[in-house]
């Protein structure tokens, strides 16, 4: 039986998770079960599908322990990948930019991604600007 996350659990999932030590990597925009938006990107995963399934959903499963009895399959409902692209972090110019699109999921919603990433950069990356 699939597991639906409760609102309290959903609120513990970070709105933005990016690899601030990476220089250029793929990211996905994810819509949660009650409409909240998330950004997930890591240099660990080469594909958008990997970012969503092996990165973001694994992060959610750790928050909610949403595994079946043999601890191998995630049982999570309500999360949908809305699109993806590429994040570039330029340490010399102190900038964070987004570009491109996902062949797997299509293009991200520009306004949503810019709002979330701008807030994240301002709070977590002193001296950097989101462009």
Structural domain count of the chain: 1
Is residue 22 packed enough to be buried (19+ CB in 10 Å), middle (13-18) or exposed (0-12)? middle
User: Range of 124's domain?
Assistant: 3-130
Q: Which CATH number is 79's domain given?
A: 3.50.20.20
pLDDT per residue over 7-54, tens digit each? 666 778 999 999 998 899 999 999 998 899 999 999 999 999 999 999
Non-local (6+) Cβ contacts of 95 within 8 A are 88, 89, 128, 129, 130, 131
Per-residue model confidence (pLDDT) at position 1: 36
Per-residue pLDDT tens over the stretch 50-82: 999 999 998 887 776 554 554 444 457 789 999
Per-residue confidence band for 2, with pLDDT thresholds at 50, 70 and 90: very low
């Amino acid at each position: 039986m699939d597991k639906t996350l409760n609102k309290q659990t959903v609120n513990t999932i970070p709105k933005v998770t990016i690899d601030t030590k990476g220089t250029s990597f793929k990211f996905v925009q994810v819509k949660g079960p009650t409409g909240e938006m998330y950004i997930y990107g890591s240099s660990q995963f080469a594909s958008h599908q990997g970012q969503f399934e092996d990165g973001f959903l694994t992060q959610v499963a750790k928050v909610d322990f949403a595994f079946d009895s043999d601890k191998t399959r995630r049982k999570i409902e309500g999360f949908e990948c809305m699109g993806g692209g590429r994040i570039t972090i330029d340490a010399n110019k102190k900038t964070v930019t987004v570009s491109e699109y996902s062949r797997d999921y299509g293009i991200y919603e520009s306004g949503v991604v810019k709002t979330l990433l701008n807030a994240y950069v301002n709070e977590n990356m002193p001296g950097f600007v989101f462009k």
